[in-house]
A and B are shown apart, each in its own frame.
Chain A
Amino acid sequence: MPLIEAEGLSIEFPLYHIGARSLKKRLFAASRLREDESHRIVVAALRDLSFRIRPGERVALVGSNGAGKTTLLRTLAGIYEPVGGRLVVEGSIGTLIDPGAGMDMDATGRENIRLRGLFLGLSEAECDQLAEEAGRFSGLGEFLDVPVRTYSAGMSVRLSFASATLMNPQILLMDEWFLAGDADFMARAEERLAQLVEGADILVLATHSMDVVRKWCTRAIHLAGGRVVADGPVEDVLAELPGGTG
């Protein structure tokens, strides 16, 4: 049974490559920067999060820039390991976080789709099938065999969307980027996304768009400064957001 369970989840980013010494002097001004036990300056990206997401829930992560939305998505995906607390994730995970993830600009569209398949752990035959499907869906036609470097912005969006959404995970982690695209392609893209979301048991979506939240989600978690400030049904959480109903 797909499930996400976090108890006191914390993520801290160490700041190594900037002048930590000068930063220490100004430390107390900014509350999210602190010095940890081995005297490193760390940014508390997520602080003591506890929540439980059950099958069937469509969760929106809302909050201003830097609130920790994408970091939380990456942590749920298993990229960052918590420095504090406990995280249990059950179920196959699909991530739509960065459109260009793992893309090679010098390889052709088809090669990139196959690479995507390998990243997902597919066999060679399955990769061929994937290339076939994604090629058709992206509508790139003959450009599929041309290096991605020569693509227009719209074309690379199509390619990454097509290759990234060919999966049917139980838990779908999505950044709002995937809801932005050129109008022509979005009609088809939205249909595909709807399929994907309906097929998944759990959706976690980071977004700024309140329309998107109302349309897709049943529950909202409002993050601010790396903490959960509100968690509940969409309308309740949105009503309390600064800026009113968005």
Chain B
Amino acid sequence: MDQVIIPETTRRYVRDAGDQQRVQRALADLGQGLARWRLARALAALDIRNRYRGSVLGPFWMTLSTAVMVAGIGVLYSALFRLPLREYLPYLAVSLLVWNTISQIVIDACGSFISSEAIIRQMPLPFTIHALRYVLRNAIIAAHSLPLIVVVFLICGVTPGPGAVLALAGLALLVLNAFAIGLFLGMICARFRDIQQIVTNVMQLLFFVSPVLWKPELLRENQVWLPLNPVYSLMETVRGPLVESGASTIIWISALVYTVLACTIAFAFFVRFRSRIAFWV
């Protein structure tokens, strides 16, 4: 039988419990994991296919349920807040979509390693691949809802100005944060299985204390405190450019600070506990 030629790169590895070289190994893990994004993409595509197996609409169920929520809440709350529907609806549509994405990402982050348990215990792969897989699957699901925004904007006659391009920078920040949270929560939740429940509850609370349904202006003089809420800052870097002609400088600065913080904490934990993940899952 002909053999497929598998690249026979001679590799050498040294695992020394006395000299673990944690930082180098964590960096190598990140580098090798990101270089193998094709594997992560294939696994993410399988995740989505399996999650919606046999479903006719598939990921578009998310779009549909968001559309129903936007219509229902839009009519009621525009009356409650005494805002014109045409002004409130685009805000609400973007809000809900970004919020749903953030919330799903955070909750899914708890399982970034646990859900890959079977692979982690059988194959030596960079752990980064599992985090990347979870980011990609959430990104793909979120992308299915984009048409909803277009539809709402068309109905309400909103045309985002050239500043809307900045929303892409906001999305990039979101992706970075998602990756960091996936590493961090993924590890913590693999070790302590109760964290997942806590996270779900915190996200419920955050939905109400963050300006998702309501506008920050309603807080009047108290809205200066809002950037202390990381979810608000990150959400606003996407929502602001799209529906409110840009986000303020303080929002961008706080979003950047939160991103740097998240990445630093995640990396520190990854360096320290990477070698334990295989024992935890």
Q: Mark B103-121, 1 if CB is under 8 A from A, else 0.
A: 0000000000000001111
Q: Mark B160-203, 1 if CB is under 8 A from A, else 0.
A: 00000000000000000000000000000001010000000000
Q: Smallest distance from the beta carbon of A15 to chain B beta carbons, Å? A: 10
B15 within 8 A of A: yes
Q: Mark A149-168, 1 if CB is under 8 A from B, else 0.
A: 00000000000000000111
- Cβ contact within 8 Å between B191 and A16: yes
- Cβ contact within 8 Å between A90 and B121: no
> Measured between alpha carbons, how far is A114 from B16 in the docked complex, in Å?
34
A229 within 8 A of B: no
Q: Mark B40-60, 1 if CB is under 8 A from A, else 0.
A: 001100100110010000000
Known A-B contacts A14-B279, A79-B124, A92-B9; the reply to A166 vs B3 at CB < 8 A is yes
> Measured between alpha carbons, how far is A122 from B50 in the docked complex, in Å?
24
Known A-B contacts A83-B17, A89-B13, A133-B2; the reply to A101 vs B7 at CB < 8 A is no
Residues of B contacting A192 in the complex (Cβ-Cβ under 8 angstroms)? 1
A95 within 8 A of B: yes
> Measured between alpha carbons, how far is A199 from B50 in the docked complex, in Å?
38
A107 within 8 A of B: yes
Most buried by A among B11, B13, B276, B279: B279
* Interface residue from B3, B50, B276 paired with A106 (Cβ < 8 Å): B50
A13 within 8 A of B: yes
> Measured between alpha carbons, how far is A182 from B190 in the docked complex, in Å?
38
A126 within 8 A of B: yes
Interface residues on chain A, number (Cβ under 8 Å): 54
- Cβ contact within 8 Å between A101 and B119: yes
- Cβ contact within 8 Å between A95 and B42: no
Closest to B116 in A: A102
* Interface residue from A10, A80, A106 paired with B49 (Cβ < 8 Å): A106
Closest to B36 in A: A121
Residues of A contacting B4 in the complex (Cβ-Cβ under 8 angstroms)? 126, 129-130, 133, 166-167
Q: Smallest distance from the beta carbon of A54 to chain B beta carbons, Å? A: 15
Known A-B contacts A81-B275, A118-B39; the reply to A92 vs B8 at CB < 8 A is yes
- Cβ contact within 8 Å between B16 and A86: yes
Closest to B15 in A: A87
Residues of B contacting A119 in the complex (Cβ-Cβ under 8 angstroms)? 39, 119, 123, 125
Q: Smallest distance from the beta carbon of A34 to chain B beta carbons, Å? A: 16
Known A-B contacts A78-B13, A79-B123, A90-B12; the reply to A120 vs B279 at CB < 8 A is no
Known A-B contacts A118-B38, A119-B125, A126-B4; the reply to A80 vs B279 at CB < 8 A is yes
* Interface residue from B8, B15, B120, B191 paired with A170 (Cβ < 8 Å): B8
- Cβ contact within 8 Å between A133 and B1: yes
- Cβ contact within 8 Å between A168 and B17: no
- Cβ contact within 8 Å between A102 and B6: no
- Cβ contact within 8 Å between A89 and B38: no
Most buried by B among A78, A84, A115: A78
Residues of B contacting A92 in the complex (Cβ-Cβ under 8 angstroms)? 6, 8-11
* Interface residue from B6, B10, B191 paired with A168 (Cβ < 8 Å): B6
> Measured between alpha carbons, how far is A104 from B38 in the docked complex, in Å?
17
Residues of B contacting A17 in the complex (Cβ-Cβ under 8 angstroms)? 193
- Cβ contact within 8 Å between B15 and A82: yes
Q: List 9 A-B contacts (CB under 8 A).
A: A16-B191, A16-B280, A86-B16, A88-B13, A93-B124, A119-B119, A122-B7, A136-B1, A167-B4
Given contacts A81-B275, A90-B10, 11 further A-B contacts (CB under 8 A): A78-B124, A80-B279, A86-B16, A90-B12, A98-B122, A100-B118, A106-B49, A115-B46, A119-B125, A126-B4, A137-B1
Q: When A and B form their complex, which 10 residue pairs have the shortest distance between CB atoms, in order from nearest?
A: A101-B122, A78-B124, A81-B275, A118-B39, A86-B16, A90-B12, A87-B15, A167-B6, A84-B17, A98-B122
